[in-house]
């Protein structure tokens, strides 16, 4: 790969909706050189390469022979086989979420990356959202976490159910906040417009007593991406879509008459932030420094484990809209 002063040679595998954004961010990153792209749709790959000054490669091995690191943004059903080829070739990997459909396959990818000394990062992009980062710095004893992630329906992403499409973002965040094993899990959900779950709710109780309540829907009439966290000395509210945060604390003062303590609320906004660009820059930095990624393969595997447990509980219960379940 060369010294840290040299640009990292990077590529993108799969240049559809998400892959296009990866190409765009790499092309703008001064620490990296976008070498090429590969997609089974040769015309799309050629157009993308031409637009961003890269090369369209005829097959995956041709691309892997010229790069140090790649993003993998193909449909989830192909993550495992393509990721394994990339790691076996000795190339560092940023794989879009979810890491795979299978915990066993995820474990194999983690083991392969570890054995070969490669960076394996999973694309849980919300971890790079500035208010989420700030929230983590403010928390030390989360007691209750509540998240709502609602999207207006689109056909994109319906190859997986709403748990792997949307809820897994918040599962990953919650698991990064609460460093304790899951003790209990209760989940319900239903299908509305697709053949998989479109609305889901999960209640997670951790061994340390923290409780998390997560709701995800892709058939909402509006977009909502909020996380609220309570701990003994503060209430924190994060809006991932607007990229802002509000923290409310006791101010240590008493109101007139000494009836009750007052509270203060501090608000922070990050309107110019770009979480995907930050995620890709973090990946490049981890490869160049030989350091652990911010969102590791193990993190991706753990989020997948809980997501699959949520899906299993939903499948055992009521899966369709009915008057009574």
Q: How far apart are CA 68 and CA 117, in angstroms?
A: 13
Give the tens place of pLDDT for each residue, 67-109: 999 999 999 999 999 999 999 999 999 999 999 999 999 999 9
Average pLDDT, stretch 184-195?
A: 92
Any idea which fold 8-123+276-294 has?
Answer: Rossmann fold (3.40.50)
Give the tens place of pLDDT for each residue, 154-181: 766 566 789 999 999 999 999 999 989 9
Which residues does 115 contact at the CB level (< 8 Å), separation at least 6?
Answer: none
* pLDDT beyond 50 at 35: yes
Secondary structure of residue 2 in the 3-state scheme: coil
Element of type H or E holding 276: helix 275-289
CA–centroid distance for 304 within its chain: 11
Give the tens place of pLDDT for each residue, 250-289: 775 554 455 556 788 999 999 889 999 999 999 999 999 9
For domain 127-273+306-316, give the CATH number. 3.30.360.10
* pLDDT beyond 50 at 121: yes
Domain borders along the chain are 8-123+276-294, 127-273+306-316
Q: How far apart are CA 104 and CA 53, in angstroms?
A: 38
Instruction: Say if residues 206 and 178 touch (Cβ distance below 8 Å).
Output: yes
């Amino acid at each position: 790969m060369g010294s840290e002063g040299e640009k990292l040679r990077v590529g993108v595998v799969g240049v559809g909706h998400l892959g296009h954004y990866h190409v765009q961010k790499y092309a703008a990153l001064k620490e990296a050189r976008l070498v090429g792209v590969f997609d089974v749709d040769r015309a799309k790959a050629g157009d993308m390469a031409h637009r961003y000054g890269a090369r369209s490669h005829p097959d995956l091995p041709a691309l892997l022979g010229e790069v140090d690191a790649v993003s993998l943004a193909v449909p989830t059903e192909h993550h495992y086989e393509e990721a394994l080829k990339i790691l076996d070739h000795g190339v560092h990997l940023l794989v879009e979420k979810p890491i795979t459909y299978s915990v066993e396959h995820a474990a194999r990818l983690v083991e392969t990356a570890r054995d070969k000394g490669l960076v394996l990062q999973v694309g849980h992009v919300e971890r790079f959202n500035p208010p989420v980062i700030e929230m983590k710095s403010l928390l030390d004893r989360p007691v209750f976490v509540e998240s709502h992630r609602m999207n207006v329906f689109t056909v994109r992403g319906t190859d997986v159910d709403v748990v792997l499409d949307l809820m897994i973002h918040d599962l990953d965040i919650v698991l990064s906040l609460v460093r304790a094993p899951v003790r209990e899990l209760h989940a319900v959900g239903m299908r509305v417009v697709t053949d998989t779950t479109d609305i889901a709710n999960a209640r997670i109780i951790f061994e340390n007593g923290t409780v998390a309540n997560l709701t995800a829907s892709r058939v909402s009439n509006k977009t909502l991406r909020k996380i609220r966290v309570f701990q003994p000395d503060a209430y924190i509210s994060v809006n991932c879509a607007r990229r802002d945060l509000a923290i409310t604390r006791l101010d240590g003062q008493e109101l007139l008459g000494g009836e009750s303590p007052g509270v203060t609320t501090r608000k922070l906004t990050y309107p110019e932030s770009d979480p995907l660009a930050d995620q890709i820059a973090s990946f490049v930095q981890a490869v160049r420094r030989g350091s652990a990624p911010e969102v590791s393969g193990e993190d991706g595997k753990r989020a997948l484990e809980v997501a699959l447990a949520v899906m299993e509980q939903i499948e055992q219960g009521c899966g369709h809209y009915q008057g009574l379940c």
